A and B are shown apart, each in its own frame.
Chain A
Amino acid sequence: MPLPSRLTTEDIPDLCQKMRGTLLTTIVNAKMGHVGGDLSVIDILGTLYFSVLRVDPTDPHAESRDRFVLSKGHCSVALYTTLAYAGFLPIEELASFAAPLSRLNGHPCNRKLPGVETSTGPLGHGLPVATGIAIGGKLSGADWRVFVVVGDGELQEGSNWESMMSAAHQRLDNLTLIVDRNHLQQGDRTSAVTSMEPLAERFAAFGWETHEVDGHDHAALESLLSSPNTSGRPRCLIAATVKGQGVSFIRDRVEWHHKVPSREQLAAALDELEVAS
């Protein structure tokens, strides 16, 4: 199955910068969106869609496709932007995000948009579903893989820990979980709400093959995400990210969870990203 694009990892950083500009513009036009988390996860999504996932926008339901689940569904604009650049929808359609009757809901819906595997939004749903997909893949003897991205704050949902135990017990080495570890949640720093450290040790203790990686380093992400998993265990990447990465006045600030930039702020952000508006 062809990759959505023939980009090399050298091209991906540039592409992700461009997607940052597109998602910011989309949010400002729609007057809504989760800007901080979108900027935090976009390098992970760009790496997945342009160098890892075997998906085909012309055949989005192909049985043999890799599956990707964005559990932190509030970062839909980052997903829609990536899917648009990957050819699943026209880039111009991003202008309809959150518009009345648009198929680009505030949270992604699989029944509306091909390329979305399951509808997400409520937190703690993605890993259980991805676990089921991975079990299904094993039962079918399929060689496709399952990838799921959760936010770090989202790990406060108990359903994740249920599934972590179950996935390890089922030895799902076809499942990869990526934690977008930006240390911020809607209302505060995660460490101020419910501390999760030592997170890597916790995953390891739950029986996962665990890696820590820079979530903005495309080459490092690509290398880990593409490498075969022969451990007999599900794989976890704790991706160190910064919420609002790429835009200095948004970067690592709690208040930018879902605040919408002004037109002037957008211009300044695009300038900083060196992207033409």
Chain B
Amino acid sequence: MSELFDCRDAFVATLEELAEQDPRIVAVVNDSIGSSKLTGFRQRWPERLINVGIAEQTLVGVGAGLANAGLKPFVCAASCFLTGRALEQIKADIVYSQAQVVLCGISSGVAYGELGPTHHSIEDLAWTRVLPGLEIIVPADPVETAAAVRYAYAAEGPVFLRLSRVGVPRLLDQRYRYEPGRAHVLRDGADLTLIACGVMVHRALEAAERLSDLGLEARVLNLPSIAPLDRREIVRAAQQTGAILTLEEHSVRGGMGSAVAEAVVAEAPCRMKLMGFEDFAPTGEANFLLDHVGMSVIGIVDAAQRLVGEPLVAK
């Protein structure tokens, strides 16, 4: 088993590195200093760590105001509260107003597995994806997390960084640079394509290896940029492999799989299956929950085999 990383470490390390160079960088929190791993940031720059209290609407509004004042705010909160409680502030103050704010949704997905659905954030992509002009990034490993933080810092508009705390192996080369609207082929194959983001990417790669043993060659696409979307790479996968299985730590409604389906249905209809959460998740540790809803490596292999083996519905 390879070493596992909590991507929040890469997030804060990169943020501190940037904050050393740019005094305009501030972190804004809703009492979420520890959960955002910002204790070190606060020690180094206490005046640049703004804690508005347990008040998410103010959190996001203050972020917009700081940007107006010429600062570079990183607004950090548990993704479930950041996106759910303050969605209208995200829409009006940040996105519609095009405030240059980086929204950092910490412990997204089912990272807070045992705490239950109130603390799960498997709706955040659906809620944010409909906002035109908001870039959305779901990094898959520490390298991509660091690259995404650097990109978001320099971006001209608002960015939603969806970060996890669930351990993931390093998948990408240190030279990796995040590009908006760019998906990456991590493994080539001609029989079907597994499209994954975030904590599901390493599971997709493992499943592809098993599938290869079984005689099916799966292409694996890492899709960190939910908005903008790499329609060209998705359409190419649909046309060249004829089947797409999407894997996300999110509801099957309205998330990354839905975004892929929108591109596929418009430009290159093919067989598709969306894997993710169909319902509020039960209680349990994050990896248990991913397995539980069918996204264990074996579960993915099984779903892939079924998808490729299924006859197309007759007209």
**Chain A positions near chain B (C-beta within 8 angstroms):** 63, 67, 109-111, 117-122, 124-125, 127-137, 139-140, 142, 158-159, 162-163, 165-166, 169-170
**Chain A contacts of B53 at CB under 8 A?**
162, 165-166, 169
Q: Which residues of B contact A124 (CB under 8 A)?
A: 57
**In the bound complex, how far is the Cα of B50 from the Cα of A170, in angstroms?**
9
Distance between Cα atoms of A137 and B70 in the complex (Å): 9
Indicate if the CB atoms of A118 and B68 lie closer than 8 Å: yes
Which B-chain residue is minimally distant from A136 (CB atoms)? B69
Q: CB of B7 within 8 A of chain A? A: no
* Residue of chain B at shortest CB distance from A119: B97
Query: Which residue of A122, A128, A133, A139 is within 8 Å of B58 (Cβ)?
Result: A128
Besides A67-B68, A119-B93, 11 more A-B contacts (Cβ < 8 Å) are A110-B98, A118-B97, A119-B97, A125-B89, A128-B62, A129-B62, A133-B66, A133-B69, A135-B62, A139-B71, A166-B55
Interface residues of B, Cβ cutoff 8 Å to A: 26, 28, 47-48, 50, 52-53, 55, 57-58, 60-71, 73, 88-89, 92-93, 96-99
A111 touches B89 (CB 8 A): no
Q: How far is the CA of A159 from the CA of B57 in the complex (A)?
A: 6
**How far is it, in angstroms, between the C-alpha of A139 and the C-alpha of B45 when the chains are bound?**
12
Enumerate 22 A-B pairs (CB-CB under 8 Å) in ascending A order: A109-B96, A110-B98, A117-B68, A118-B64, A118-B97, A119-B93, A119-B97, A125-B61, A128-B64, A128-B93, A131-B52, A131-B65, A132-B62, A132-B66, A133-B65, A136-B69, A139-B26, A139-B47, A159-B57, A162-B55, A166-B55, A170-B50
B61's partner among A111, A128, A142 (CB-CB below 8 A) is A128
Contacts known (A139-B47, A159-B61); A121 close to B92, Cβ less than 8 A: yes
Q: Complex: how many Å from CA A136 to CA B93?
A: 16
The answer on a CB contact under 8 Å between B66 and A118 is no
Contact A159 B66 (CB under 8 A): no
Query: Closest CB of chain B to A105's CB: distance in Å?
Result: 11
Complex Cα distance A37/B256, Å? 43
Whether the Cβ atoms of B55 and A136 lie closer than 8 Å is: no
- Distance of A133 Cα from B73 Cα, bound (Å): 11
Instruction: Say yes or no: A132 contacts B70, CB within 8 Å.
Output: no
Q: Is the CB–CB distance between A166 and B58 below 8 Å? A: yes
Q: Looking across the interface, which residue of chain A has its beta carbon closest to that of B96?
A: A119
CA–CA, A130 and B93, complex, Å: 11
Chain A positions within 8 Å of B26 at CB level:
139
Known contacts: A119-B92, A159-B58. The answer to whether A129 contacts B64 by CB under 8 A is: yes
Chain A residues contacting B68 (CB-CB under 8 Å) are: 67, 117-118, 129, 132-133, 136
Give CA–CA (A133, B26) in the complex, Å. 13
Of residues A111, A118, A127, A165, which shows the largest number of chain B Cβ atoms within 10 Å of its Cβ? A118
Question: Using Cβ atoms and an 8 Å threshold, which residues of chain B touch A159?
Answer: 55, 57-58, 61, 89
- Taking the closest CB of chain B, its distance from the CB of A206, in whole angstroms, is 13
Q: How many angstroms between the C-alpha atoms of A158 and B66 in the bound complex?
A: 21
Is A140 a contact partner of B70 (Cβ separation < 8 A)? yes
Chain A's closest residue to B50 (CB) is A135
Residues of A close to B58: CB separation below 8 A = 128, 131, 159, 162-163, 166
Which residues of chain A are near B62, meaning CB under 8 Å?
A: 128-129, 131-132, 135, 163, 166
**Of A111, A131, A137, A140, which contacts B98 at CB under 8 A?**
A111
The minimal Cβ–Cβ distance linking A128 to chain B, given in whole angstroms, is 2
Nearest Cβ on chain B to A51's Cβ, whole angstroms = 23
Q: How far is the CB of A47 from chain B (nearest CB, A)?
A: 23
What are the residues of chain B within 8 A of A109 when measuring CB–CB?
96-97
Chain B's closest residue to A165 (CB) is B53
By a CB distance below 8 angstroms, the chain A residues around B47 are 139
Which of B62, B63, B97: most chain A Cβ within 10 A?
B62
Residues of B within 8 A of A119 (CB): 92-93, 96-97
Q: Are A137 and B93 in contact (CB under 8 A)?
A: no
- Determine how close the nearest CB of chain A comes to the CB of B157; give it in whole angstroms: 11
- A132-B61 contact in complex given A139-B26, A139-B71, C-beta closer than 8 Å: yes
Question: Are the CB atoms of A135 and B66 closer together than 8 Å?
Answer: yes
Does A110 lie within 8 Å of B66, measured CB to CB? no
In the complex, the answer to whether A134 meets B61 with C-beta atoms within 8 Å is: no
Inter-subunit contact A131/B71 (CB<8 Å): no
Residues of B within 8 A of A169 (CB): 53
In the complex, the answer to whether B48 meets A131 with C-beta atoms within 8 Å is no
Please tell me if the beta carbons of B70 and A136 are within 8 angstroms of each other in the complex.
yes
Are B71 and A140 in contact, with the CB atoms below 8 A?
Answer: yes
CB nearest neighbor in A for B57 = A159
Q: How far is the CB of B138 from chain A (nearest CB, A)?
A: 26
Which A residues lie within 8 Å of B67 (CB)?
132
Residues of chain A within 8 A of B69, CB atoms compared: 67, 132-133, 135-137, 139-140, 142
> Which 6 residue pairs are nearest across A and B when measured between Cβ atoms?
A132-B65, A136-B69, A128-B61, A132-B62, A162-B55, A159-B57
